[in-house]
């Protein structure tokens, strides 16, 4: 690491590990409930578990993006972070808001709006928190010694994500209007501005790990930003098919959302081609695995499985079923969880000076979690298609169908155990790195290592 203030990133990443673990506990609670084993129901009803599972996911991912920003922005701007103290205050207050929300969900203090369950009063605290973050990062960029495309795209992604939180806070007493604007947050985040955050972190990692010229990589970044906006903004229409909005959304949503996979395909091709061009090999192989893996799995989960139910003719049957959960898991995992784990594995040796980049536990963490997540996606897919057939085609009762699906959740639990074993190994490796150290300021552990030539054979 070049700058002392980059050390803050470590604490954001450590918070991710904690919240991620807790998220998985709630995943298991729901998985068992789907099998009919719902012994915790009176303390943790399904709605509370679901809100906790998905909100913890969003918070740990945001926390990971913030950690990435605290690590990348000083490096790209060529100066220390504007205020380290503010960064710590912001992190701690974010954790406090998160804990209060989770406790609230268990006490039935929540809004029944998927992903935006936190009650309105807490939303204001979130806004204050995010303003602190944007101010701190913004000042660092503004007063930086240099401006880089990667740094600016990352900042713009974070800034727009903050702005897009606001439409979800408008109060409506009309269900259609409320849904309409809820999608400005949920859809325009994951299929819009978060893609900028992902693209820029990907670009940063590829610059560092492959040694390909910054100019080449940043040109790709422009193309990805262009493709994202071209398809993603009007692609919001794929959530407006049957919620009471005008009919033209069927056409607009269908056409533009069908183009959305292009941005993810672009990122996958981009990462693979930069990797193939890499002249020097960076010793941090695990980070390269996560980086290339993220680009590929996001295309599968978001692009391919998103397309699978995005046409109105299909969505009419699959809407709100476990088919959605199938896509939601692999998309969130491939695009956003994996990019956070990629930057974490890149940053850890830089922050702590320990070179655990080729450890067995780190490699196993990558493979077990990915194979486990593909298995989980398969289990949700089989359950989802069965549900669509029985409930929507045959017209059987919702709860009757849920009983028929119990057996598929045994498959989900088994795959989730594999996945969780991978994540435990990831966290184990994280802990082994130890705390960030001042000795590493101005030094990069990778530069002490002799170059090994091409990394090709070892990855494929």
Which residues contact ligand HEM (rule: CB under 6 A)?
A: 24, 27-28, 30-31, 34, 50, 53-54, 57, 114-115, 186, 190-191, 238-239, 257, 260-261, 298, 302-303, 306-307, 309-310, 315, 319-320, 324-325, 327-329, 331-333, 335, 337, 412, 416, 419-420
- Answer left, alpha or beta for residue 212, where phi above 0 means left and psi between -120 and 50 means alpha: beta
Residues in region 184-243 near Fe ion by CB under 5 A: 187, 191
What separation in angstroms does the CA of 175 have from each of 113, 121, 172, 245, 328? 10, 20, 7, 11, 23
Measured from the CB of residue 235, what is the shortest distance to ligand HEM in angstroms?
7
CA distance 252 to 234: 7
* CA–CA distance, 272 with 293 (Å, rounded to integer): 10
* Cβ nearer to ligand HEM, comparing 201 with 302: 302
CB of 145 to ligand HEM, least distance (A): 33
- Rank residues 221 and 325 by Cβ distance to ligand HEM and give the closer one: 325
Beta carbon nearer to ligand HEM, 208 or 238: 238
Q: Report d(CA 344, CA 321) in Å as an integer.
A: 33
Tell how far CA 424 is from the center of its chain. Answer: 18
Q: Which does 50 bind (CB under 5 to 8 A by kind): ligand HEM, Fe ion, none?
A: ligand HEM
Shortest Å distance, C-beta 124 to Fe ion = 26
C-alpha torsion sign, points 217, 220, 226, 232: negative
The least CB distance from residue 257 to Fe ion, in Å, is 7
The minimum distance between CB 235 and Fe ion, in angstroms, equals 6
Partner that binds at residue 207, options ligand HEM, Fe ion, none, CB closer than 5 to 8 Å by kind = none
Helix (H, G, I), strand (E, B) or coil at 407: helix
Task: Report the residue number whose CB is nearest to ligand HEM.
Answer: 306
Q: Which residue is nearest to Fe ion (CB)?
A: 187
Task: Using the CB atoms, write b or e for 376-397: b if 16+ within 10 Å.
Answer: bbbbbbbbbbbbbebbeeeeee
Q: Is 309 in the site for Fe ion (CB under 5 A)?
A: no
Q: How far is the CB of 116 from ligand HEM (least distance, A)?
A: 9
Question: What stretches of 211-247 show up as alpha helix (H) in DSSP?
Answer: 214-235
Contact 366, 286 (CB under 8 A): yes
For residue 335, the partner it binds in ligand HEM, Fe ion, none, with Cβ less than 5 to 8 A by kind, is ligand HEM
- Structure tokens that stand for 92 in this block: 């701690």
Please report how close the Cβ of residue 187 comes to Fe ion at its closest, in angstroms: 4
Shortest spacing between CB 90 and ligand HEM, in angstroms: 24
Which residues ranging from 151 to 190 are in contact with Fe ion (CB under 5 A)? Answer: 187
Count the residues of the shown chain that bind Fe ion, applying the rule CB under 5 A: 2
Residues in the chain: 460
Torsion of CA 253, 231, 303, 290, to 10 degrees: -150
Nearer to ligand HEM by C-beta: 8 or 68? Answer: 68
Buried b / exposed e across 328-341, counting CB within 10 Å, b at 16+?
bbbbbbbbbbbbbb
User: Interaction with Fe ion in 406-425: which residues (CB under 5 A)?
Assistant: none
Positions in the binding site for Fe ion (CB under 5 A): 187, 191
């Amino acid at each position: 690491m070049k700058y002392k203030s980059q050390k803050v990133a470590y604490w954001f990443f450590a918070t991710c590990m904690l919240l991620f673990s807790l998220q998985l506990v709630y995943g298991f609670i729901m998985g068992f409930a789907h099998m009919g084993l719902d012994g915790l129901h009176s303390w943790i009803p399904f709605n509370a578990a679901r809100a906790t599972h998905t909100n913890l996911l969003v918070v740990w991912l945001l926390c990971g993006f913030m950690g990435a920003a605290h690590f990348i922005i000083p490096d790209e701007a060529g100066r220390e972070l504007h205020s380290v103290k503010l960064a710590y205050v912001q992190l701690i207050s974010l954790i406090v808001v998160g804990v209060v929300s989770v406790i609230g969900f268990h006490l039935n203090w929540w809004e029944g709006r998927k992903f935006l369950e936190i009650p309105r009063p807490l939303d204001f605290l979130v806004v204050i928190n995010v303003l602190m973050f944007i101010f701190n990062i913004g000042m660092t960029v503004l007063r930086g010694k240099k401006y880089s495309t990667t740094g600016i795209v990352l900042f713009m992604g974070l800034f727009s994500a903050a702005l897009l939180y606001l439409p979800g806070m408008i109060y409506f007493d009309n269900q259609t209007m409320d849904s309409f604007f809820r999608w400005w947050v949920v859809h325009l985040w994951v299929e819009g501005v978060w893609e900028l955050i992902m693209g820029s972190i990907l670009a940063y990692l590829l610059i560092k790990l492959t040694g390909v010229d910054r100019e080449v990589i940043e040109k790709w970044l422009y193309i990805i930003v262009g493709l994202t906006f071209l398809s993603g903004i009007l692609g919001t229409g794929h959530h407006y098919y049957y919620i009471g909005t005008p009919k033209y959304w069927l056409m607009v949503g269908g056409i533009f959302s069908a183009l959305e996979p292009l941005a993810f395909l672009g990122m996958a091709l981009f990462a693979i081609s930069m990797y193939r061009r890499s002249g020097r090999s960076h010793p941090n192989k695990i980070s390269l695995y996560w980086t290339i893996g993220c680009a590929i799995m996001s295309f599968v989960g978001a692009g391919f499985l998103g397309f699978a139910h995005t046409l109105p003719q299909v969505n009419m049957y699959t809407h709100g079923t476990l088919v959605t959960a199938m896509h939601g898991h692999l998309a969130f995992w491939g695009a956003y969880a994996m990019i956070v784990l990629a930057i974490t594995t890149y940053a850890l040796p830089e922050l702590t000076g320990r070179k655990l980049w080729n450890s067995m536990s780190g490699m196993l963490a990558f493979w077990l979690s990915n194979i486990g997540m593909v298995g989980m996606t398969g289990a949700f897919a089989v359950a989802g298609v069965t549900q669509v057939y029985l409930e929507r085609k045959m017209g059987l009762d919702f709860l009757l169908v849920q009983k028929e699906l119990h057996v598929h959740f045994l498959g989900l639990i088994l795959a989730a155990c594999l996945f969780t074993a991978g994540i435990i190994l990831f966290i184990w490796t994280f802990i082994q790195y130890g705390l960030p150290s001042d000795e590493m300021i101005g030094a990069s552990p990778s530069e002490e290592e002799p170059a090994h030539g091409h990394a090709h054979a070892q990855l494929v």
